[in-house]
Chains A and B, each alone.
Chain A
Amino acid sequence: MKVQLNVDVHHLTRVEGHGNIKVRIEDGEVKEARWDVVETPRYFEAMLKGKHYTEAGILTARICGICSIGHCLASIRASENAMGVTIPETARKLRMLAKHGETLQSHVLHLFFLAAPDFFNLPSAIHLLEKEVKVYDLSRRLTNLADYLYDEALAQDRFIKPSTRGYRREKSMLAPELREEIEDALFGIAENSAPELIGLPTVKPFLDKKPEIVNMALRLKSLGNRICDLVAGRTTHPVSLQVGGVAMAPDKKALANLRDELKRSVGDLKVTAELFKTFNIPDFIRQTEFVSLKGVDEYPFIGGDLISTDGVVKREDEYLEMTNEYLDANNTSKWCKLSRESMAVGALARFNNNYPLLHPEAKKVAEFLGLAPVSHNPFMNNVAQLIETVHVVFESIRYIETLLEDDFKNIMVPVVPKAGRGVGAVEVPRGILYHDYLYDKKGFILSANCIIPTTQNNANIHFDMKELARQFAPKRLTDKQLELLCSMLVRSYDPCISCSVH
């Protein structure tokens, strides 16, 4: 029988913003496979016209609620480049720390709350949490029951080890076989209740995973957010990151506390890596050109040259030659390309271009999860994000240590407005972001351009979708299975759709 498949997703869930998927396979042939962005446009470039340089960063942070720090950093860098401002070294370090906090917060949010539910076959992390809470409640009740049974047994001489008679009676005096028997019986109760309690055949993954998955994710996400709060003044829509440097120095005691907490989070990162190793990541390859910043002595996040895996290298201010935006009739987001019909940016692109500069601990996780450059499997962007999560945790520790030796006296330089053009390129969680402003001599914007990572990815997602449908059409999937696969493809890119249609 020839394959007939139909996928039609209106407003895909667990992504930021609004996009649709359409796939139609008739007689085994892909007739249609589309990824279309239908987000309402906001016209930020039009709003930027006439804005003073002190306002641009505050306005453009509002392009994105998840990577507002990245937008603010790209914006103030563009303004500083236009006006020839060089910020103090301490301010550079503080900005990088805020950037790492955002990457941590955003990657953990995506990995656990947007991507992971697909691998658990659940609609959301909240459902995962509900199961965890139920199992936790049950295990607490069973522990009470166990204590009761132990007490009953202790009251009877025959269950106690003869050598311990006469002492105050404790659980450890019970015959080990009896303890095991009680534990097994209680685990049996938990197992038997699993289908009714949580709709799964076993409670094991919830009992074995200590610490629990959702709480672990929340601890990591909280760390990222608190770094941002401390250094940028607020996680979403930062206040301290301003043209000329950083307006407020963080409290050193709080910085030192964060460093200690970051050190303690290493165990959570290990458990996260082990968890992701159990996930069945789809085996799919489409040869792709990956674009990112080019690191020199550090894995790159703020400023520098641009590079592609096809060998293109450009300066930061030549970004237009790296993006080549054009319009597609079905999309409110623009599309981009470089050497091929489309290109990709994001964690996997950074990883593919800058692998040697990763922290050794991040490289270990890459090896553990079987990711090596250059990977052309877009689903591996999840793994690349996890590797970067490890990288930014260790880098944050290093940055805080050097910052603690600083006196924070010199974190802001005076700014004299002048006419000119400046570009700021920043690697935000979802890929490389460009802000480009032309200023008049009083420091007001004459024209502005912002190119967002997801704008650069949208065409690539679209062409991946076609290839995915072609490769998986003969594999006897149901409509639902193909829909899940296509949805997972889009989610792997962690698209920030309202950003892409700013």
Chain B
Amino acid sequence: MKYLGIKQQKPRIAVFDFTSCEGCELQLANKEDSLVDFLMAIEILAFREVSSASSDDYDIALIEGSITRSDEIGRIKKIRERAKVLVALGSCACFGGVNKQKNKMTMEQANKIVYGDSPRETMPAHAIKEIVSVDLAIPGCPVNKDEVERIVRHLVWGVPFKFQVYPVCVECKQRGTICRFEMGEICLGPITRAGCNAPCPAGGLGCWGCRGPAEDPNYKEFFQIASEKGFSDQQVADRLNFYGAFEGVK
């Protein structure tokens, strides 16, 4: 944009990880064809997984992971104070992610199974928004780098970003993927927000809803179809609760 006399803003970004697999951070270093351009369009102030250099002078904080221990609450609050924009990156940060499955039992039970008689400190998993306010949530397990790039482009140009309102089903139709319901499998595609380009159904796996609900999803009709296809309420509920993205729906 230099030739138009418009000064390009480099978003000043820091990346922080909480309880997670760090797979979403890894996506930032994927999509190698455009990675050099991506890295040149932003300024990375802190990114512990790939750099020893770090500074607190960031505007945008990308947060991966959910909150599952008391020290993490203090850390995220400090980051919230410093950051102008706080972004939840991935399903763990947005919804609690698979970590929320731990919440179905007491922490004592979980500790007993893993650490026996020497329990470690933990607490029920929380999404970031349950602890501090979140300005932008980029869902996905893992996040889709294409979408992250689109968001960064909008940041650089100062244009508001809009997520897809339609569900994953639309993307399957665009790709010509055979419906997983037709293959005898349950699929959350009809109610989950698109934007991932539906890689799971294309790879032979129904949608597990890692991106959370689409705009105004038709739950009633979805439950009807699932039941007609022979899936029990329990099976539907297990699927909905896998990433904690459909809390309270069933």
Query: Which chain A residues have a beta carbon within 8 Å of chain B's beta carbons?
Result: 11, 13-17, 40-43, 45-47, 49, 55, 58-59, 62-66, 68, 109, 113-114, 117, 123-127, 129, 133, 214-215, 218-219, 221-222, 225, 232-240, 242, 247-248, 327, 332, 447, 498-499
Contact = CB atoms under 8 A, between A and B. Distances in A.
Q: Which of B51, B199, B202, B203 has the most CB of A within 10 A?
A: B203
Q: Which of B26, B69, B105 has the most CB of A within 10 A?
A: B26
A109 B142 CA distance: 18
B203 A236 contact: no
A214 B205 contact: no
A46 B52 contact: no
Given A13-B48, A124-B47, A237-B142, 13 more contacts: A42-B19, A46-B102, A46-B109, A66-B26, A124-B53, A126-B39, A126-B51, A127-B53, A240-B204, A242-B204, A248-B204, A327-B118, A498-B22
A214 B114 contact: no
Interface in B79-120: 97-99, 101-102, 105, 109-111, 113-116, 118, 120
B33 interface: yes
Contacts of A499: 21
Q: Which of A13, A15, A109, A238 has the most CB of B within 10 A?
A: A13
B56 to A, nearest CB: 14
Contacts of B98: 47, 59, 62
A65 B50 contact: no
Q: Which of B36, B52, B53, B118 has the most CB of A within 10 A?
A: B52
3 nearest A-B residue pairs (beta carbon): A65-B23, A233-B203, A247-B204
B199 A113 contact: no
B171 interface: no
A483 B44 CA distance: 24
Contacts of A13: 48-49, 51-52, 54
B132 interface: no
Nearest to A226: B32
Contact of A219 (B32, B69, B204): B32
B203 A240 contact: yes
B68 A42 contact: yes
Contacts of B114: 41, 43, 45-46
Given A13-B48, A43-B114, A65-B142, A233 B205 contact: yes
17 contacts: A14-B48, A14-B50, A41-B115, A42-B68, A42-B99, A45-B114, A47-B98, A55-B238, A58-B208, A59-B98, A65-B22, A129-B39, A233-B200, A236-B26, A236-B30, A239-B203, A498-B19
B4 interface: no
Given A41-B122, A232-B203, A235-B30, A126 B102 contact: no
B48 A11 contact: yes
Interface string B203-231: 11100100000000000000000000000
B29 A109 contact: yes
Contacts of B111: 43
B22 A17 contact: yes
Contact of B30 (A55, A225, A327): A225
Given A40-B122, A41-B122, A64 B32 contact: no
A222 B32 contact: yes
A58 to B, nearest CB: 7
A218 B204 contact: no
Q: Which of B19, B33, B51, B111 has the most CB of A within 10 A?
A: B51
A456 B23 CA distance: 22
Contacts of B51: 13-14, 123-124, 126-127
A242 B204 CA distance: 9
A64 B53 CA distance: 24
Interface string B42-62: 001001111111100000000
Contact of B102 (A14, A47, A133, A332): A47
A187 to B, nearest CB: 25
A27 to B, nearest CB: 30
A233 B202 contact: yes
Given A42-B68, A66-B23, A236 B110 contact: no
A63 B50 contact: no
A255 B17 CA distance: 35
A248 B205 CA distance: 9
Contacts of A129: 36, 39
B155 interface: no
A498 B21 contact: yes
A47 B48 contact: no
A240 B116 CA distance: 35
B50 A126 contact: yes
A145 to B, nearest CB: 21
A49 B113 CA distance: 10
B29 to A, nearest CB: 7
A214 B38 CA distance: 14
Contacts of B204: 233, 239-240, 242, 247-248
Given A43-B110, A46-B110, A126-B39, A239 B29 contact: no
B35 interface: yes
A97 to B, nearest CB: 15
Contacts of B199: 233-234, 239
Nearest to B99: A42
B24 interface: yes
Contact of A47 (B25, B30, B39, B101): B101
B26 A43 contact: no
Contacts of B39: 126, 129
B72 interface: yes
Contact of A16 (B22, B27, B33): B22
Interface in B1-44: 17-27, 29-30, 32-33, 35-36, 39-40, 44
Given A114-B50, A235-B30, A218 B21 contact: no
A114 B52 CA distance: 10
Nearest to A248: B204
B141 interface: yes
Given A124-B53, A221-B32, A327 B202 contact: no
A14 B68 contact: no
B204 to A, nearest CB: 3
A45 B51 CA distance: 32
B171 to A, nearest CB: 14
